[in-house]
Amino acid sequence: MSKIDKMSILGVRSFGVEDKDRQVIAFFSPLTVLVGPNGAGKTDAHETDVRAQIRLLFTDVNGEKVTIQRSMSCTQKAKNNQFKSLDQVITRIKDGQKVHLPSKCGELDREMISALGVSKPVLNHVIFCHQEESNWPLSEGKALKEKFDSIFAATKYIKALETMRQQRLKQSQTVKECQMELHYLKQNKEKAQQIKEMVSTKEAQLMASKDSIQQIENQIDPLETRMIDIDDQLGKVIKLDNEIQAVNSRKKQMEEDNKELEETMEQVFQGSDEQLQDVYQNHQRTVKEKERRLVDCQKELERAGRECQRLNRVKAELLVEQGRLQLEADRHSQNIRNRDAQVRSLSSYLEMEGYDRMPFSNLQLESFHHQVTQRLEQEKETLSQVLADLQQKEVLKQQSIDEMRDKKTGLERTVELKRDLQNKKQQELRNIRADLQKLEGSSTRLQELENELNKAERELQNAVQSSNVDELKAEVVELQREKTELDRKQRQLDQEMETLNTHTSARTQMDMLRKDKMEKEDQVRKIKSRHNEDLVSLLGHFPNKRELEDWIYAKSKEMKTTRDRLAKFNKDLASSEQNKSHIAAELRKKEQQLSADEEKFFNICGSQDLEQDLSKLQEDLEKVSKQRAMLAGATAVYTQFISQLTEDREPCCPVCQRTFPSESDLQEVISDMQSKLRLVPDKLKNTEQDMKRKERKKKDEMMGSNPQSIVQLQEKELPELRNRLQNVNRDIERLKGDVEEQETLLASLTSEEDTAKACLQDISLMDRYQMDLKDVERKIAQQAAKLHGVDLTRTIQQVSQEKQETQHKLDTMSSKMELKRKLIQDQQDQIQMLKSAVNETRADKLQLSSDMQKQQQLEEQCVEFTTEIQTLTRDIREAREQLSPLSATLEKLQQEKQEILERKKQKQEEGQEKVKILLSRFKFLQQKESELQETNTQLHEDIDTQKVQERWLQDNLTLRKRVEELKEVTARREALLKDMENHNLIKCLQAHKCFYLFFCRKQLREDQYDKADERYRNKMITMRTTELVIKDLDLYYKALDQTIMKFHSMKMDEINKIIRDLWRNTYRGQDIEYVEIRSDVSESTSAGARRRVYNYRVVMVKGDTALDMRGRCSAGQKVLASLIIRLALAETFCLNCGILALDEPTTNLDRENIESLALALVEIIKSRTRQRNFQLLIITHDEDFVELLGRSSYIEHFYRIRKNQDQNSEITKCSISSLSSYLH
C-alpha cells in the first residue's frame, strides 16, 4: 500500500524562492495536522496546480521509495506573466542506486496514479479535494453524476459495452448479408453440380453411343452391299412369286370350283339362301373360336413362363430353408449327445447305477429325474441338521464368553479409576513440591524488598521537594497574559490595514482597470483557444477578421465550381443509366428469343428427353416392319398351304397335322385361305406406305430443328450485348465514384465554410476586445501618472511589517509557553512514576509474606499425598494380577467360538454348493430335453413339407425351361430386325448429346457457375465464424453488464453502510437519523442503443421519510455530510492507498458537531491503526479542533504554518502539549 513520507515546497505562492526558504514536511502515520491562520499557505501544501518547485517522497504500492520533483518558472513580461514547466523528474532506487527518469507532465501524472494505486478521479475528488470543491457530494445532478461515474470508472466500462454492442450489430449485419449471398450461392452451386453431373452422364452416354456406332458400322459395312442386292432380288422375287401364286391360285381355284360343281351337281344344296347363309356364318364362328383359343393358349404360355420364374425363386428359398433345417437337425443331435453326457456325469457324481451306456431312453430319463430329486431332498435335510447342531454349540460358547467379558470389564474399570486417582494425587504432589521450592529463598527476598521499598520512598520524597511546578505554572500564566496583549495589538494592526485599503481609491481604481484588462485578455484568450484548432487547420494560422472574410469568399467560389462539376457528372451518369436500360432491354429480348428457339427445338423433338421420343417412334416403326414382313411371307405360306390341301390325297392341316373330318371342312379352310390371299397385296401395299410415311416423318422431325440460330445467339449476339452491358456498368461505377468524390468534396467544403462562418462572429468580437484593451491600457497609464509622487505618512508595507514583527513575538511566546508546559509535564510524570514504583514494591512484599505463612500447610499435604499414592499403586497391582488369567480364559473361549462359527460356515457353504450343483444340472437337463423334443417335432414337419415342395418345383422348372427356350428363339429373331434400324437412331442421339454437352459446358464457363463451390464454401466459413463471434460477444456483453451491476450495487451498499455509521457517531442533532447516497437506475435509449444509466443524489432520512439534502440542509449539515461521504469513499476505493486529506473540515460546523467530528476521526484512526500505511492529513485553522484530536494517543506533534518577517510562509513542527497549555 502506498503512503507519502516527505514533501518540500519552494516558491509556491507565499513560500520563499530562495534555498534557505525551502520548507520540508515529514508526514506522520496515522495522523498529520497542519495548523495556521488564513492566508498562511496551508492549502498550498496539497494543491496540484502550482508554480516554482515541489518535491514529494512517497512509498508506492510495491513498497518502493519514489521521489517526484516538479519544477516551474514564471517570468514577468511587460504586460503579463509567462509561466512554463521545467524538468519533471522521477527518482527511484534500483540495485541500491538512485535512478533519475525525466518525463513530461502527462507522463508524470500517469506515473503518480500508477504508483499511488488509485485512479485520477479518486485522487482529485476523494483523497486530495480542495476546500472550494469539498462540498461536491451536494452539487447539482449533472456534476454529481459525472464525479460519481468517474469514481466508479463507469464511463470506460459503458464505452466497452457500447463497443461490443456496435461490434455485435456489425457482425449481425454481416451474417444477414452472408445468408442472403449464401442463398444465391447455394442455388448456383447446386445448379453447377447438376450441370456437371449431367455433363458427366452425357459424356459417358456419348462415348457409349460412339462405341456402339463404331461396332454397328463395322458390322454393317460388309453387309450393306449384300443387303442392297438381296433387297432388290427379294422385291423382284416377291413380286413375281405373288403374281404367279395369284394366277396359279386363281386358275386352280377356278378348276376346283368347276370340278366341285361338276361332282356335286347331283347333290346340290336344297335349302334356301337363308339356310345356306346360316351354315356359312356357323362356319365363320367356328373359325373365330379356334383363333380365340389360340390367343388364349399363347397368353397362358406367357403366364406359365412368369410362374416358372416365381417358382424358381421359391425353390431357391426352400433350398436355403432346407439347409437351415438340416443344420438344426445336426444341432439337435449334438444337444442329445450333450444331454446324455450330462446325465452320465451327474449319475457318476451321485454314485447312481444304470446310467453308464448312452443313449438313454425316455423311461431312463424319467427315472433319473426322480432319483435326482430324492437325493436333493436328502442333502437338504442333512445340511439343516448339521447347521442346527452347530448353532446350539455357538449359543453355549457365547454365554460363557459374555460372563467372562463382564468380569474382565469390571476389573479393568476398577484399575482405570484407581489409576486416574493416582495420577491426580501425583499432580497435586508435584504442585505442592514446586510451591515449597519457591518458598525456600523467601526470607532473603523479603529482606531485599524491604530495602527497595525504603529506597523508593526516599527518591519520591526528594523528587517532590525538588519540583518547581507551581513556579512554572505562574510563569505560564504571565506568558499567557503577554500573549493576550500581543493578540490585541495584532487585531489593532489588522483594523489599521483594513482602513488603509478602504481609503486608497486610486489604488482601487487602478486595480479595477487591471482586472478589466485581465478579463478582456481572458476573453481574447478563450476565443483563440475555442477556435484556434479549427482556424489553424483551415488557414494554417490564426487570422484576423479581414483574412477570414477573404478565405470564406474564396471557399464560396470553389464550392460553385465543385457544384458545376457535380452537375456534369450527374448528367453523364443519367445518360449512362439510360444507355444501360436500352442494352438491358435488348439483352432480355435476345434471351427471350433464345429461350423461344430452345423451346421450339425441344417441342419438335417432343421434349427435352429426346431418347424417349426416338425410342417410341422406333417402336412404332418396328411394329409396322413386323407387320410388313408377316404380310410379305403370308402369300407364299397361304399358297403353299392351299397346294398341300388340294394336291394331297389325304390332306391334313399343315399347322396341327390333323385330318379334316369331312370334305366340306376342307373346302371351308381352302376357301378361307383363298379369300385372305386375295386381301394380302392390298394390305402389304398399305403397310409399306405407312412405314415410309413414318420414316419420312421421323427424318423430318430429327433434321427439321436447325440449332444454328441458337448457337448464333449463344456464342455471338448475347456475349456482345453482355460485354456492352459490362462496359456501361463500369462507366456507371466510375461516374458514381466521381459523383461520390465530388459530393464528399462539396460536403467538406461546405463544412469548412460553415465552420469559418461560425467563427467569424467571435473573430469580430475578438477584434473589438483588442480595441478595448488598447483603451484600458491607455487609462491605466493615465491613472499611474496621477498616482505618481503621492506621499502617505503610513503605508501598507509599514503596517504589514509591524504585523509580521508582532506575529514573530507571538510565535516566540508560544514556543516559551510550550517549553514551560513540557517541563511541568515532565516533573509530574517523574513523580507519578516514582509513586507507582513504591506501590508495586509494597504489594510484592505483602504477597511474599502471605506465601511464607502457607509453607507448613503445604509440607503436611505433601506427606499425606505420598501415602495415598502408595496405597493406590498396591491396589492397581493386585487388580492386574486377577485380570491376567481372565484375559487368557476369555481369549480361549473366543477362539473356540470362532472355530465353531467357521466349521458351521464351511458346512453350510458345502451343502449349499452341492445343492446348487444338483439344481443347476437338473434344470439344464430339463431345458435340453424340452428343446430337443420341440426341435424333433419341427424337423419332421419341415421334412415332409420340403418333399412336396421339391416335386412341385421340379415340375415348374421343367416348364420354365421350355418357355425360356421359346423366348430365346423369339428374342433372337427380334434382335436381328432391331439391329438394322438402330444405326440412324444412335447417330441422331449422338448429335443431340453433342449439342446438349456444348450448351452445358458453356453454362459452366459463366461467372456465376465457374467457382460456385469455392465461393459458397468461403462464404459459409465467413458466416459460421461470424456467428461464433456474435455468440462470444453476447456472452462477454452479458457477463460484463452483470459484473458492473454487481460491483455498483456492492460498492453502494458498502459506502452507505459506512456513511450511516459515521453520521450516527458524528452528528449530534435529532432531525436527521442518517444520510445515504441513492442511485436511481434508468434505461436510456440513444439511437437504438439501450444502456443502463445511474443518477445519484444524497438524501437525509428521518423515520420512513427521505428527502434530498441539496437545498434543504444547513451549511454545517452540508459540510458534515460531504466530509462523511468522502471518508466513506476513501474507505471503499482507496484499498492500495491509505492517504486522505481534509481541508478545513470544521467550516460552518457548530461546537457540538466539531467535537463529535473529532471523536469520529479518532475512532476512524483507531480502527485503521492496524493498517501500517494509513495516513490522515488535516489542514485547519481551528486550534480547538486540533486540541480535541490531541487528546487521543495518535498525535504527538503538528505543523504550524505562519509567515515570517519577509512575508514568506514557514513550517514549524510543534508538540501537541504546547497547544493544550496555550488553550488552557
Q: Are 179 and 1020 in contact (CB under 8 A)?
A: no
Q: What is the dihedral of CA 786, 792, 798, 800, to 10 degrees?
A: -60
Best CA proximity match to 712, nearest among 588, 594, 586: 594
Which cell is 1182 given? 481551528
C-alpha–C-alpha distance, residues 899 and 393, integer Å:
11
Measured from the Cβ of residue 569, the count of other Cβ atoms closer than 10 Å reads: 20
> Distance between CA 744 and CA 746 in Å, rounded?
5
Say how far apart CA 305 and CA 962 lie, in whole Å.
Answer: 9
At position 573, the amino acid (one-letter code) is L
Single-letter amino acid, residue 592: Q
Q: What is the DSSP string of 4-68?
A: EEEEEEESSTTS-SSGGG-EEEEPPSSEEEEE--TTSSSGGGG-SS--SEEEEEEE-TTS-EEEE
Beta-strand pair 23-26/1105-1108: unpaired
Would the annotation count 653 as a binding residue?
A: yes
d(CA 336, CA 328): 12
CA 1198 to each of CA 2, 323, 326, 1202, 1217: distance values in angstroms, whole numbers, following the listed order: 22, 117, 118, 13, 10
Q: Which cell numbers in the block locate residue 198? A: 449431367
CB atoms within 10 A of CB 1094: 18
Cell of 137: 457530494
Listing from the earlier edge strand, what are the strands of the sheet with 1105-1108?
1074-1086, 1089-1102, 1105-1108
Query: What cell numbers appear for 687 in the block?
Result: 403397310
Q: Which amino acid is it at 1215?
A: S
Cell representation of residue 199: 455433363
Q: How far is CA 322 from CA 908, 932, 942, 949, 1042, in A?
A: 53, 19, 8, 11, 76
Cross-strand partners of 81 = 76
**CA atoms of 300 and 971, how far apart (whole Å):** 19
Report the alpha-carbon distance of residue 236 to residue 230 in Å, rounded.
10
Q: CA 910 to CA 924: how far, in whole Å?
A: 21
Residue 1200, Ramachandran bin (φ over 0: left; ψ between -120 and 50: alpha; else beta): beta
For residue 69, the one-letter residue type is Q
Q: How many other CB atoms are there within 10 angstroms of residue 773's CB atom? A: 17
Query: How far is 409 from 1197, CA to CA, in rounded Å?
Result: 76
Residues 1194/31, Cβ–Cβ less than 8 Å: yes
**Per-residue cell: 564:** 458545376
Cα 1058–Cα 1060–Cα 1062 angle in degrees, nearest 5: 65
Residue 1154: which residues within 8 A CB-CB, separation 6 or more? 1146, 1182, 1184, 1185, 1188
The answer to whether 656 is annotated as binding is yes
Q: Please give the sequence-ordered ranges of beta strands (E in DSSP) within 36-155, or none if there are none.
A: 53-59, 65-76, 81-94, 97-103
**Any idea what the Cα angle at residue 1011 is, between residues 1010 and 1015, rounded to 5°?**
145
3-state DSSP call for residue 1092? strand
Identify the sign of the CA torsion 882, 887, 888, 889: positive
Cell of 1198: 503538528
The vertex-263 CA angle with 260 and 267, nearest 5°, equals 100
CA quadruple 454, 459, 462, 464: dihedral sign: negative
Binding residues, by number, are 653, 656
Binding residues for Zn(2+), by number, are 653, 656
